[in-house]
Amino acid sequence: MATAARTKRLVAALEDAHALETQAIETLTSLAESAPDPELRTALESHRDETARIRARLEAALVTLGRRTSARKERQAVLAATIKGFTGSLRDEASPHNLKDWYVTEHSELATFAILSRAADRLGYRDIAQLGRDAASLHRNAAETAAGWFDYLVELMVGSR
Ligand SMILES: [Fe+2]
């Protein structure tokens, strides 16, 4: 079984992942609201809902380890998302840069959960490791979905739309 110090580091990683998902939900909501294409909006909203379910599982995992979510990290996540949303709103609503944020966010989540799942495995927390694998898979799929919109983004940038 993991030592207290190692478990503490796993808790910190879970809190970081939770804050990241809070930020991702804010970003996806903002992108969905400004999405010019209904299919794109649906994809963003669907992934936002999936991400909310992952965040709920992270909260449950923290509770099993005797912790709650970090208020400080949550505040930072919401502030970062708010700033990001604000800067996004300064751009054209259909700006490809806004949608590029989606692709970048997915890869940040993918890396976070790929590492979290391996760490949890090493420490013997099988349920948390499974949560990490599930989340990594979900965000990997979302990254592919985001990449599927690249041609659409190019049309917005230089095409006739
Ligand atoms: Fe994601």
pTM: 0.84
90 Cα–ligand 1 center, Å: 24
96 Cα–ligand 1 center, Å: 18
Contact 88, 29 (CB under 8 A): no
144 Cα–ligand 1 center, Å: 10
H/E run at residue 99? helix 96-123
Rounded mean pLDDT of the chain?
A: 86
143 Cα–ligand 1 center, Å: 7
* Residues with a beta carbon under 5 angstroms from ion ligand 1: 106, 109, 139, 142
3 Cα–ligand 1 center, Å: 31
**66-113 residue pLDDT tens:** 887 666 676 776 666 655 654 554 455 555 567 888 999 999 999 999
Domains of the chain: 4-158 (1.20.1260.10)
**Residue 37 DSSP code:** S
14 Cα–ligand 1 center, Å: 16
Looking at the chain, the whole-number percentage of residues with pLDDT higher than 70 is: 81
Grade residue 153 by pLDDT with cuts at 50, 70 and 90.
confident
Per-residue confidence (pLDDT) for residue 68, from 0 to 100:
73
Contact 117, 133 (CB under 8 A): yes
98 Cα–ligand 1 center, Å: 15
23 Cα–ligand 1 center, Å: 10
17 Cα–ligand 1 center, Å: 11
Buried residues in 28-66 as b, exposed as e (16+ CB within 10 A)? bebbbebbeeeebeebbbebbebbeebbebbeebbeeee
